[in-house]
Structure formats: C-alpha cells, structure tokens
C-alpha cells in the first residue's frame, strides 16, 4: 500500500457528509444561479458565523475567489499589498494582475507575516503620481507557511492600512485551521476584514469556495462582478449544499482540528530524526523543514511532496490523515536520511 500523500491538503478527498449533501441536492429540478433553497440556507449559515450584515457569494475555485474578492476593491492602476509569500503573489500565475489590471506588491515578511515596518514603507508612495496607488492590504490567515497572525498583529496592520484609506482583504483558504488553532470564531478572525476569501476545499469540501463581504457597500456590485470574473455557478445548489452542512454541522472544526493535530504529530516525529529540522513553528497543518537533498529526493520518490523556496521541504496534513499515516511517512523520511548518511560515509571511505 502506498503512503498517503503529504504533498497538499488539496490531495485529500471530501468528507462523507459533504458527498451526502451533494447527493441529497441532486433530486429534482430547481432554479439555477443561486435562486434555490440550499443557497438560502447556506447564506443563513454564513450570516450565523460572520454576522447578520455579512453577505456570501459562492465561487468555483480559490484563485477565482481571490480575484473576485479583490475586484471589489481594486482595479487598473491600483496596487494590492501583501506578504512576499502570499498565494496571490506567488502561486496564482499573475491572475489578479491579468484580470484586474492592478499591481500585486510584495512586502517583506517574517515567518510569512507582513512586517509593520514594510507596510509603513509601502504606504509612503501614496500621492506620488509615478507609482501605482495602494488601495488594499491582503492578509493570509494562516500564512502560506502555516503560521498564524495573532489578533493584535492583524489589528496593527489593519490600523495602518485604514489610516491610509486602504481596504483589508483576508485570504482564508485555511481559515478553519486558524480558527481551531487560535480558539477563535470566524467572526473574530475576520473582524478587521472588509472582504474575505473563505476556503473549504482544503478541509473536506469537494468543490467551490466562497467570498464573504463584510463591508455592506462592497456587496452592491458583487453579484455583477462575480459574473464578470467567471465565478457564477449555474447549478449553485451543489456548492451551497456542501457549505450548509460544513458550517451547520461544524465539519470545518472537526476536520481542521484533526489536520492540525496530525501536523503536530509529524513535527514531533521528524524533530527526532537527526538531519531534519523544522523551519517554522508548526501552528496549523503545515510542516516546513530542512533535510539533506539526497534524502529528500529518495523520500519524494516513495511519497511525493513539494520542495519549497529556499530549499525547504513542505509536508501538509489533511483532515483524514491518521496517526498511522504520519508514523509511516516519518519512518520513510527516517530511512531516507539513514540511507543518505550511509552513502555519504561510503563515499568518504573510497
């Protein structure tokens, strides 16, 4: 039997309740484009989490959700400020810039989190005609490195942004992992945001994401911008039905808690292997580490995982990662490191 994938939480399947919800929605006919009972109930579930004035707009995928969310606040000639590790800057093939005509400006970060000093410096261009004008600060929670902004850190960055007249976007592709790790509600986590990209596909949802608008005036154009950004699903009930149970039955919490716990178990296991060293605090479901290159290649051949920037290795756990999966994977890493050391010793003795 092959080792379960630790390459990405996108590689996992969907929770059984999610598949059941899709099947239950697959009965009979109903109006399309969100004019259905499942979407109505899912919208109510989001309002229960984010507040009665919030509005949710379902999208087809994560990049589309981010582009759609940013289109509510940014356009040609503008700039969006984000971490130098942010998904919108590094892993979306320039989609926000191509679709919106805006500039994505990367700011210096530490452990994936934007440095306030870097934000202050970036805001210095406001009023300078030769530079794109920043209109939005985008924060990723948790960061692409699996680390967490504490509420006071977000508040400081949001204060700087708002004082300069910027909107605040939050990329919450793994927001459930952050909520369970910090012991906070979604509403508390997003309290400083004007618009939020809300992810579920990395945590047990089969397909579809959501954009939650928390600043009411931004919701006026949202239905039209969703269509122009190619994110309006005709059979929306199949997305909505998933989020109705995902939120209503708190599947998000159970799944995120399991994924986070699996990452902590993996961190403990690899920390005991001489030659492997975690690179960042393991706060959600991501483990980044350094290890000998030859050992990494040997382990990758048995169970693929990604090499990250700076020569790091990234291992992601999922909602369905079992203790036995972690132990088996850690064993494979241990064997690969031991074999690499043996080869190194043999080469020196020649």
Confidence tier at 346 by pLDDT (50, 70, 90): low
Give yes or no for a contact between 211 and 57, defined as CB atoms under 8 angstroms apart: yes
Q: Is the pLDDT of residue 214 over 60?
A: yes
| Bigger pLDDT: 229 vs 344 | 229
Chain centroid offset of residue 35 CA: 28
Cis peptide bond N-terminal to 137, omega within 30: no
Cα end-to-end span (Å), the chain? 37
Element (H, E) at 133: strand 133-140
> What confidence score (pLDDT) does residue 192 get?
98
Give yes or no for a contact between 279 and 289, defined as CB atoms under 8 angstroms apart: yes
The rounded percent of the chain whose pLDDT value lies above 70 is 97
Neighbours of 226 (CB within 10 A): 24
d(CA 141, CA 145): 10
> What confidence score (pLDDT) does residue 1 get?
45
Neighbours of 41 (CB within 10 A): 16
> What confidence score (pLDDT) does residue 4 get?
87
> What confidence score (pLDDT) does residue 348 get?
64
> What confidence score (pLDDT) does residue 345 get?
58
Give the tens place of pLDDT for each residue, 84-120: 999 999 999 999 999 999 999 999 999 999 999 999 9
Task: Share the mean pLDDT of the chain.
Answer: 96
> What confidence score (pLDDT) does residue 344 get?
66
The rounded percent of the chain whose pLDDT value lies above 90 is 96
Give the tens place of pLDDT for each residue, 229-240: 999 999 999 999
Give yes or no for a contact between 112 and 140, defined as CB atoms under 8 angstroms apart: yes
Measured in residues, the chain has a length of 350
Confidence tier at 333 by pLDDT (50, 70, 90): very high
């Amino acid at each position: 039997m092959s080792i379960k994938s630790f390459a990405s939480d996108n590689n996992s399947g969907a929770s059984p309740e999610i598949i059941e919800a899709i099947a239950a929605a697959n009965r009979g006919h109903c109006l399309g484009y969100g004019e259905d009972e499942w979407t109505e109930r899912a919208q109510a579930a989001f309002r229960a989490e984010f507040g009665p004035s919030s509005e949710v707009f379902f999208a087809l995928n994560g990049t589309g959700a981010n582009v759609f969310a940013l289109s509510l606040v940014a356009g040609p000639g503008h700039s969006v400020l984000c971490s130098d590790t942010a998904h919108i800057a590094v892993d979306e093939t320039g989609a926000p810039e191509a679709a919106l005509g805006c500039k994505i400006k990367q700011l210096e970060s530490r452990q994936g989190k934007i440095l306030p000093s870097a934000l202050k410096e970036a805001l210095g261009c406001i009023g300078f005609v030769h530079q794109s004008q920043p209109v939005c600060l985008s924060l990723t929670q948790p960061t692409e490195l699996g680390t967490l902004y504490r509420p006071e850190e977000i508040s400081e960055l949001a204060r700087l942004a708002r004082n300069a007249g910027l909107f605040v976007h939050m990329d919450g592709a793994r927001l459930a992992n952050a909520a369970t790790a910090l012991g906070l509600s979604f509403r508390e986590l997003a309290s400083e945001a004007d618009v939020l990209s809300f992810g579920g596909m990395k945590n047990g949802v089969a397909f579809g994401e959501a954009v939650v608008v928390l600043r009411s005036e931004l919701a006026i154009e949202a239905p039209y911008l969703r269509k122009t950004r190619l994110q309006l699903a005709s059979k929306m009930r199949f997305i909505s039905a998933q989020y109705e149970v995902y939120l209503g039955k708190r599947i998000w919490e159970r799944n995120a808690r399991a994924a986070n716990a699996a990452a902590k178990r993996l961190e403990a296991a690899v920390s005991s292997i001489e030659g492997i060293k975690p690179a960042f605090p393991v706060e959600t479901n991501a483990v980044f580490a350094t290890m000998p290159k030859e050992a990494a290649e040997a382990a990758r051949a048995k169970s693929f995982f990604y090499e990250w920037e700076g020569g790091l290795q990234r291992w992601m756990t999922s909602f369905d990662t079992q203790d036995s999966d972690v132990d088996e994977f850690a064993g494979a890493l241990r064997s690969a490191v031991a074999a690499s050391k043996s080869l190194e010793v043999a080469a020196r003795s020649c």
